[in-house]
Structure 1
Amino acid sequence: MAYYDEQLQLLQQQTMQKKRKESKLKELYTQHEVLSTRADELRKSKLDAQADVEHLEGRSLTAFFYAVIGKKDEKLNKEREEAYAARVKYDVIARELFAVEEDIRHNETELIQLRGCEQQYEKMLKDKADAIKAIGSQEAVKIFRTEERITYLENQMNEIKEALIAGETALSITNRILASLGSAEGWGTWDLLGGGLLTDMAKHGHLDEAQKQVEYLQVQLHRFKTELTDITIHADMQVSIDSFLCFADYFFDGLFADWAVLDKIKQSQTQVQNIKSQIESVLNRLTSMFNSVAKELEGEKAGLNDLIIRTNMKK
């Protein structure tokens, strides 16, 4: 009977995992559709911006006009900045799209391995129910229901734990971005005091690192959003989570041309701090949920032990 119960609990876990994978895939397919559309838009923007640069660098009438009025270098620099920003935005979305496609393949593979578990679970569940009816013991029914609840709570804890890990990873990336921006701000201040080429290079080196970490963060925010699928949270939290997915866009908008200016670096710090606060809010809610489920699980297990002891004593 013990082996029979273990198999039933295993199939129950697999059935819940299957439903979880299906929900994740639904969310991932939605993300993929949105990202694909956005990638097409940014690809076009990147090509258009690069074409503008090449147009000014070539033998066009526009290039001749700006050369005559003495503003060709100024106009060319602006176009190059816009082309660079467009390329970076496209690279970010391309990385996100690739990561989502990888997650889709991973979940589809795991879903194939879980095929048929629901039917097996239903059959074994019916067999167990019939066996309990034949015994006619109320204690056996209570034990059976309690074991079901324990398996459900354990699965729920695992889901929340996975979401917590994803969120904490995103949080650690925001800390790295803030550290890079803080260093860039320090070098920027020194640069204003006449630091020269070396301080300017150091400042931009930290800004490059911040840019790279923002790309990582955007991918991780999508994964955090996916892990939160089917986990019930407050409506205002859901709004915050949805805003995660636009982070890279507003972080990079209008930033490249003015990164040498300290107030732009400070503005970027504020943006990252805001997304960090949103992540922390969701993590706090998840931690509270995890502790609540853990407490209920502890109570159910204690109740199960009591049922088993009392049942054995009656025998």
Structure 2
Amino acid sequence: MFEELNKNIANAKEKLTRKEELKNLLQRTKENLNTQMTKEKELHKILQNEEKDAERLESFLKDIEQQLEKKRQEYLRAKLRYDECCSLIDTLEKETISYNEELNDYVNIELEYKELMKKKKRLILQGDDLDAKELIKLTEKVQDLKSNIKETKEALNAGEKVREALERVLSSLKSAKGWEQWDILGGGFVATAAKHSKIDDAKSHVHEVQRLLGIFIRELSDVKLSSDMDINIGSFEKFADYFFDGLIFDWVVQSKINDSLDNIYDTSNNVKRLLSTLERNLDGFEGELRTAEDEIKRIVEEKC
């Protein structure tokens, strides 16, 4: 009966922990969604203004090429950032729906957990069995370690997906490197150079990287990392902005893609450092788990 109760408590505790995680994830996602929707409105307004300015300049100031080129850059920056923002909003809306649906599975978990803890307390007060108390302590430790392992593996999985997506961006940019002319958006106002499909591939991959980075950041918030581990979250969140700014600068000034490549390398190295730390943490948690489970086995066998 005691083992079954502990098992039920551990199960309830895991569900309670997941519910709190979901509530936090949902709150952060809603906040991020609200931020992005506000940003989308601002960027859309900027986009419309810049496009009007650019079209006006192209129609009436064709002889002032320098000013027109500046407006092209501003329009490109606004268009790229606006597209990225819209992509993030779509992802965040889907995540919000998913978290709300899963939260429905944990409506009464607090009450269930409290009832199980009351039963556990009554059993403990009925006697003074030191082995039983130690078994309870170890069981709780095992559950905490399993939770840590689960969260660390989720963060590792998210980080690996980011790393793979960054490799795809890198591959596209390397293929495009050396082409002296290519068109970032294609057609219409900005059709001033021959379109190169590899740049389009890179843009598509960057949207995916930004989406996966958002997931990775949220997963990292649930795990414990070394105190000396510097997580440059700001650079992750603005990855797409940095990438596109570098792409625009290289397109206009150098007809190369050096800045965007440097941004990919820096982000990739940061992700790899985090993955190494997560792997070390996972090894430590798994070692502690084996030790705790061995101790539980010893106590149970000695009681038989």
Cα drift, residue 173 of structure 1: 0.8
C-alpha distance after superposition, 1:90-131 (max 9, x if no partner): 010111122122222212221221122122112112202212
Query: Against the structure 1 CA distance between its residues 262 and 308, is the aligned structure 2 distance closer, same or farther, given a 3 Å change threshold?
Result: farther
Secondary structure, aligned partner of 2:205 = helix
Distance in 2 between residues matched to 1:215 and 1:235, nearest whole Å = 31
Distance in 1 between residues matched to 2:6 and 2:26, nearest whole Å = 30
Query: Against the structure 1 CA distance between its residues 176 and 106, is the aligned structure 2 distance closer, same or farther, given a 3 Å change threshold?
Result: same
Moved more, 144-153 or 127-136: 127-136
Where do residues 122-137 of structure 1 align in structure 2 (5 Å cutoff)?
A: 122-137=114-129
Moved more, 301-310 or 229-238: 229-238
What letter matches 2:277 in structure 1? R
Moved more, 176-185 or 98-107: 98-107
Whether the aligned pair in 1 keeps the contact of 2:173 and 2:257 (CA below 8 Å) is yes
Q: Which residue of 1 aligns with 2:184?
A: none
Cα drift, residue 218 of structure 1: 0.8
What letter matches 2:45 in structure 1? K
- Whether 1:104 and 2:96 are equivalent positions in the alignment is yes
Residue in structure 2 matching 1:162, options 154, 157, 161? 154
Q: Which residue of 1 aligns with 2:34?
A: 33
Q: Which residue of 2 aligns with 1:84?
A: 76
Query: Against the structure 1 CA distance between its residues 254 and 179, is the aligned structure 2 distance closer, same or farther, given a 3 Å change threshold?
Result: closer
Whether the aligned pair in 1 keeps the contact of 2:159 and 2:216 (CA below 8 Å) is yes
Query: Against the structure 1 CA distance between its residues 23 and 235, is the aligned structure 2 distance closer, same or farther, given a 3 Å change threshold?
Result: farther
Cα drift, residue 7 of structure 1: 2.2
Cα drift, residue 86 of structure 1: 1.5
Cα drift, residue 81 of structure 1: 4.6
TM-score by length of 1: 0.84
Distance in 1 between residues matched to 2:9 and 2:288, nearest whole Å = 22
Q: Which residue of 1 aligns with 2:22?
A: 21
Cα drift, residue 206 of structure 1: 1.0
Query: Against the structure 1 CA distance between its residues 254 and 271, is the aligned structure 2 distance closer, same or farther, given a 3 Å change threshold?
Result: closer
C-alpha distance after superposition, 1:180-239 (max 9, x if no partner): 1111115559xxxxxxxxxx868x211111111111111111111111123233466454
Q: Which residue of 2 aligns with 1:246?
A: 238
Secondary structure, aligned partner of 1:170 = helix
Q: Which residue of 2 aligns with 1:177?
A: 169
Distance in 1 between residues matched to 2:127 and 2:162, nearest whole Å = 52
C-alpha distance after superposition, 1:257-302 (max 9, x if no partner): 6427667412211111001111111111111111111111111001
Whether the aligned pair in 1 keeps the contact of 2:177 and 2:256 (CA below 8 Å) is no
Q: Which residue of 2 aligns with 1:265?
A: 257
Query: What is the root-mean-square deviation of aligned Cα atoms in Å?
Result: 2.4
- Whether 1:219 and 2:211 are equivalent positions in the alignment is yes
Q: Which residue of 1 aligns with 2:185?
A: none
Whether the aligned pair in 1 keeps the contact of 2:163 and 2:271 (CA below 8 Å) is yes
Whether the aligned pair in 2 keeps the contact of 1:28 and 1:226 (CA below 8 Å) is no
Q: Which residue of 2 aligns with 1:46?
A: 47
Whether the aligned pair in 1 keeps the contact of 2:6 and 2:139 (CA below 8 Å) is no
- Could you tell me which runs of 5 or more consecutive residues in structure 2 were left unpaired when the two chains were aligned: 182-192
Distance in 2 between residues matched to 1:101 and 1:283, nearest whole Å = 28
- Whether 1:5 and 2:6 are equivalent positions in the alignment is yes
Distance in 2 between residues matched to 1:178 and 1:43, nearest whole Å = 29
What letter matches 1:288 in structure 2? R
Secondary structure, aligned partner of 2:221 = coil
Q: Which has the higher contact order (CA 8 A, sep 6+)?
A: 1
Query: Against the structure 1 CA distance between its residues 81 and 263, is the aligned structure 2 distance closer, same or farther, given a 3 Å change threshold?
Result: closer
- Which structure: larger Rg? 1
